[in-house]
Structures are given as structure tokens and as C-alpha cells.
Amino acid sequence: MSGKYTFNVKDKIFWTEGWGSLGLAVIIALFIRWAFIEAYVIPSGSMLPSLLIHDHIFVNKLTYGVRVPFSEKWLVKLNEPRRGDVVVFKYPQDMSTFFIKRVVGEPGDKIYYENGMLYINDKPVDRDVPDQLAGDMEWLRDEDFQRDGKYTDTKSNYTHFEENIDGRKHSILIEKGKLYEQFGPDVVPDGHLFVMGDNRNNSLDSRYWKFLPKENILGRAMFVWLSCDETIPGIPFPICNPLTIRWTRLLHQVQ
């Protein structure tokens, strides 16, 4: 570094060592965030056990295409969301709020949900009870369920299933003794999707606010790059407490 800073845009130093280099770095970072990849933090337990509270994830924003900046319109469309994809999207009832759910219904699909069982096009989705509650379940704590007034809830109140949608397996939770919930049957309209949380009894999803417009989708969840049990209190944005980092969860792929 020469120590010389200049505001002359015709000067090479401006672009290599001056304010121009900083501006270019910011522009490149914003471009990557807009078009390719963006980081999000999981704030709730609606996707337990697949995604934990305070999971920091990367979202692939290019997988479905490229949008016109600051709009819901597609500039280039590459792929369509598929059943089983975990997607981040703008909540249809408040576009300033971001949600993350799993796609279970594509346009034209007939969706029915009853007694903890999901039916797609009149066929029950395959699911099994694992022999051991391992994998996604090993990270769960009782504290993860004791939110939104459920102060006495524990993970022992839930049954863990492995659901198989189109050959893509993922974990879901069903609360014991709560098998009376029902939705549908209803057909997903064109240009929309049906999405659900993996924590089936604790998710505000398409069963309550109906279908998700495809243009609301921001991208597909890729993997967990950081995860922790607790964040540092008193800070307006989530920063992991380094003493509570879940080291074995780093680089965990979102199934």
C-alpha cells in the first residue's frame, strides 16, 4: 500500500488501493447475494428436526433462475421447485417476512392431510419410524420445543418419522396424541406450491394460509455453515455464542 488515496476515478490507484476498490468489493458482494447465494438464520422450530433454531444456512438463489433486482419477476428461469425441496420465500401475507418450508405439492397435485398422514394425489406418502432416533434427532433439546408459551413441552412428546417423497427422504415430527388435524383435499393451482414445515404440529404453512406463489421463492436451502444452541443476548441480530457452537453440525446438508 502506498498510503495515497485519491478520488480521481481516472487514477489507477483509485481502483486498486483507493475508495474505488472498496466500492467494487461492495458491488461484487451485493451481486453475489442477489444472484447466487445468501445467508439466512433459522429463527423458529417449524422445520425441526431437519433445521434447528439458530442454524445458519446458505441458500442457493440461482437454482431456480435469476430475478429482476428488487422484484418478484424472473429475468431468467432455470428450474422449477420440486417436491422435497426446502425453500426460502417471502411470506404471502407479509412480503417483508421470510419463511422456510418444504415443498410437498406442485401445480395440479391434490393434497390431503389427516391424522398426521400426508396424501399426494390420493396416495399416502411413505414413512417409517427409524430403529433408532439418531441423525437429525441427536441435536434436539427440550428447550427447542418450549417456545410460544409451550413452557412444559419436551422432545419426548413427539414421534420421529422418516418421510419419503419421490424417493427423497427427510425427517418429520408428529406430536403424540394430536392426530385430529385435517386439511383438504385441495388441488394446487397453476403457478403455486403447497409447502409444509417438518415439525407438522408446530408450523404456520399452506394448511393455514393456502398456496405459495412461485414468484415469492428466493432460493433453495443448501447446507448449514454455522449452528449454535444459543446466541449472544442483548444484540439486535443473531450472533452465535462461541461456547455453544454445534461443531458436528457444521456443513450439514439440508435434506
d(CA 107, CA 182): 20
**DSSP H/E element including 103:** strand 98-105
Q: What are phi and psi of 235, to 5 degrees?
A: -115, 135
46 is a catalytic site residue: yes
Q: Grid coordinates representing 75?
A: 429475468
Q: Write the DSSP symbol of residue 89.
A: E
Helix (H) or strand (E) holding 187: strand 182-187
Amino acid at 62: L
Active site annotation includes 2: no
User: Among 46, 171, 203, 206, which one carries the catalytic annotation?
Assistant: 46
**DSSP class of residue 152?**
T
User: Distance between CA atoms of 209 and 129, rounded to whole angstroms?
Assistant: 29
The neighbour count for residue 77, using CB atoms within 10 Å, is: 11
Grid coordinates in use for 238?
443473531
3-class secondary-structure state, position 112: strand
Active-site pick, 101, 203, 206, 214: 101
CA distances from 163 to 63, 126, 127, 131, 220 (A): 24, 6, 4, 14, 19
> How many residues are present in the chain?
255
Which residues have a catalytic role annotated?
Answer: 46, 101
